[in-house]
Structure 1
Amino acid sequence: MKLAAVILAMTAAMPVVASAHQAGDFFMRAGSATVRPTEGSDNVLGMGSFSVDNNTQLGLTFTYMATDNIGVELLAATPFRHRVGLAATGNLAEVKQLPPTLMAQWYFFDSNSKARPYVGAGINYTTFFDADFNQTGRDAGLSDLSVKDSWGLAGQVGLDYEVSPDWMLNMSVWYMDIDTEVKFKAGGEEQNIKTRIDPWVFFFGVGYRF
């Protein structure tokens, strides 16, 4: 009896170690997010498909753990800026975009594991703005550029690694289905070009649990 009492007293005196990714947790991650389009488009004025370059910005994710294994995540970022061109002409224009994405996630292993790999699936909304031709495009007689907003599916894989009860390292990869329509005038004639951006997004950052 005395031994049992001592064990109970020692257990009560031990600090409680918080587990990572428990039901009810909310955490935010911040880091670099790089958008790498796998672009393609209809033929543009007989000169081939549009090219869209990569861009890196500050990425933010906000995650709520509905259970120890199921999370809901929102992706946000500072605006991505892409140069758009053709192989024959070089860069013709610049456009900015924001791709907020809502994901349902499944986290593998139990909540006591320091490493928590996960997969997610969800929906992406991409809004395009500040689209404009550069001097090269204007000299070629191009004007009135606009890019249609897009809805599409998204998927992701990622890994969190706990470095303290409240801090973690994260690396994750998204794939987003972004199909849009690029409209402009060439010599005063309206052009509508269906364009597939379909980027991979690579995120490396740190997370904090509240």
Structure 2
Amino acid sequence: MMKQTLISALVLASLSAPAFAAREAGDFIVRAGWAQVSPDESSEDVAGNGEFSVDSNSQLGLNFTYMLTDAWAVEVLAATPFKHDVGLPGIGNIAEVTHLPPTVMAQYYFGSDKIRPYIGAGINYTYFWDEEFTNDLDGALTDLELSDSWGLAAQVGIDYELNDNWLINASIWYLDIQTDVDFKLGGDSVSIETDIDPWVYMVSVGYKF
């Protein structure tokens, strides 16, 4: 419900706000703040134990925006590494993985001289590392590895400009992340196709120059 309310509010602001050229081509914006990755995961059945679950994680989020015109921009999303617990029904957490999801977006800005809603679409690359079993079921689980992922991305967001340089921002991202979870179960190789497909929520402070 909270996710749907935020998305509806941002989309409504984007559609209802009048156009205004408050920014110029060549402006550069840096934002930093709280970012949460909330997976909407699904997977193939894991040896009769159900689907993988993946918990949420929050980190320092960063994004860098370059204005191509007063309305069109390119943005890069970055962050400190996200770490997630992976579990199975009835067993609990069995593994921990770390990832980074750098994303490049093309954006279109609407709005007045202070309020700048925007929408964006682009490409995500997710790199996984430090995969390890935290519960190997008495040695039955070994050799965990997740494949990297390429996928589409979309976002809505809004800037509120405090003055000529400083602003505050709220944004919601959707990332298409698919990975093959490879491991050995009792010495046999297993590969489980898994969709992570997270929603990313970010609240930040930005500086324009």
* Aligned residue number for residue 178 of structure 1: 177
Determine if contact 1:124/1:152 at 8 Å carries over to the other structure.
yes
Query: What is residue 95 of structure 1 aligned with on the other side?
Result: 97
The TM-score, its normalising length taken from structure 2, stands at 0.88
**2:56 maps to what in 1?**
54
Counterpart in the other structure of 1:27: 29
Question: What is residue 128 of structure 1 aligned with on the other side?
Answer: 128
* Structure 2 equivalent of residue 139 of structure 1: 138
Partners of 1:38 and 1:198 within 8 A in 2: yes
- 1:59-92 Cα offsets, whole Å, 9 max, x none, are 0000000000001000000000000010111000
Partner Cα distance (1:50, 1:21) in 2: 45
SS at match of 1:121: strand
Q: Map 1:1-210 onto structure 2 (within 5 A).
A: 20-109=22-111, 113-134=113-134, 136-139=135-138, 141-210=140-209
Please tell me whether Structure 1 or Structure 2 has the larger radius of gyration of its CA atoms. Answer: 1
State how far apart, in whole Å, the 1-side matches of 2:89 and 2:23 are.
47
Is 1:20–1:162's contact at 8 Å kept on the other side of the alignment? Answer: no
Distance, in Å, in 1 between the alignment partners of 2:138 and 2:195 is 26
TM-score by length of 1: 0.88
CA contact (8 A) 1:20 1:165 kept: no
Q: Which runs of 5+ in 1 are unaligned?
A: 1-18
Q: 1:161, CA displacement in angstroms?
A: 0.3
Identity percentage of aligned residues: 59
Contact 1:39–1:51 (CA<8 Å) still a contact in 2? yes
Could you tell me which amino acid in structure 1 is paired with residue 120 of structure 2? Answer: G
* Distance in 2 of aligned mates of 1:109 and 1:31: 22
In the TM superposition, residue 21 of structure 1 has moved relative to its aligned partner by 2.7
CA distance in 1, matches of 2:150, 2:142: 26
Name structure 2 gaps, 5 residues minimum: 1-20
Partner Cα separation in structure 2 for residue 152 and residue 140 of structure 1: 34
